[in-house]
Structure 1
């Protein structure tokens, strides 16, 4: 793993995390959407945002945008499985509140970070 590239990836991921939490919060608390639907929709917005950030900043890629976005989204979906499982499991165990939503977000995102980086570095942006 190239250390500098991993840290650029993590910075883009931090921006994606903020967007993920904001979209989720707006959907759940602002519009009353169900928790898991909100989580999936916020993921789609955040994944697209992080793809763009990683394309331009982390990997400085010039390959075909749409094909690359499809690969990134597939990699993100694979990495999202442990994320969603942990998110849902924590909420089932602790109950739902704004505080537990954040705990579940942080734990879920951490669970998907390494696999997302490896898939991005070795397949999406190669």
Structure 2
């Protein structure tokens, strides 16, 4: 059962990734926001989307909405630290362009995945 839950968590995360990189792209390439500001803002939007998906689909939770969202956001923020460090490190090393943004995104998300799942399954949605 727990393996199925991780698969559902990963599926919701994939949707969150699409939301995250789409919002980031709009903010950077269309609106001209600075890269790291856009990255943080896109993270907030994606974290809210993944909270909702995990609440409904992955963990089928009925806990109080706002309290659970706060726990999820704290959890996601902790997982965001390695994500942003890897993202920024890659951009500092390789420079910034469409390709390096995409590479940095994928690597950053991977860096935060395990911590995010563990905190979600053991604290947020328990």
Over 2 Å off, 4+ runs: none
Aligned 1:33-72 pairs, distance under 5 A: 33-72=33-72
Gaps of 5+ in 1: none
**2:16 corresponds to which residue?**
16
**2:85 corresponds to which residue?**
85
- Offset at 1:14? 0.1
- Offset at 1:28? 0.1
Deviation per CA, 1:14-65: give whole Å up to 9, x if none.
0000000000000000000000000000000000000000000000000000
In structure 2, distance between residues paired with 1:63 and 1:32: 39
Aligned length: 126
In structure 2, distance between residues paired with 1:123 and 1:70: 11
In structure 1, distance between residues paired with 2:122 and 2:3: 15
In structure 1, distance between residues paired with 2:22 and 2:98: 12
**2:99 corresponds to which residue?**
99
**1:117 corresponds to which residue?**
117
- Offset at 1:13? 0.1
Gaps of 5+ in 2: none
**1:28 corresponds to which residue?**
28
Q: CA RMSD in A?
A: 0.7
In structure 2, distance between residues paired with 1:37 and 1:111: 19
Q: TM-score with structure 2 length normalisation?
A: 0.99
In structure 2, distance between residues paired with 1:9 and 1:41: 22
